[in-house]
Amino acid sequence: MTLTAGLDTTLPTHERIQGLLPHRFPMLLVDAVWELRAGESIRAAKAVTLDEPAYARTRRGAARAASQGYPTSLVIESFCQTAGILFMESGLGGYDRHRHVLLFGALVGCRVSGAAFPGDVLTHRASIVKVFSDSAVFAGEVAVDGGTVLTVDHVVMAVRDRGTIQETRP
């Protein structure tokens, strides 16, 4: 981990991000954390490449794939993973990665105003709006080259004990 001037916290390395989030390729959608203010805000990045599974069918036609926007659902997922890192690094909800699961609960006021393409870097900015005993509300935006492509008014994250999250099959 490295300390960034002006910040009162350390920035998670990619290995730390992998330790925080349960996701792995192809669903680990945060490549780097550029700024982290525990209990306040985060700025993180996700590079969009032609190697993304979303482009697998068009990979042979790279020019065609390069003209196709990155799926909005994955932009939202990447934003939520960024907010999750802020949640965990802020010590909210008594989060313990060995005991708990962090769940995405609701998304309100999500507006798409642009698109990302292979070669673009998604810059996520998320901040904490409100904290509860076992959950928190975040807001923020995703930008590409300084232009906003997604705005999120509220996203709710909640902590649950792993033991209470069980797979049920009929």
3-state SS assignment for residue 117: coil
What number of H helices and E strands is found in the chain? 3, 8
**For the purposes of burial, counting CB atoms within 10 Å of the CB of 155, is it exposed (0-12), middle (13-18) or buried (19 or more)?**
buried
Percent of the chain with pLDDT over 90: 56
Asked if pLDDT for residue 24 goes beyond 50, the answer is yes
Give dist(CA 68, CA 114) in Å, integer. 12
Q: What is the pLDDT of residue 6?
A: 40
Q: What is the pLDDT of residue 46?
A: 97
Asked if pLDDT for residue 59 goes beyond 60, the answer is no
Q: What is the pLDDT of residue 3?
A: 34
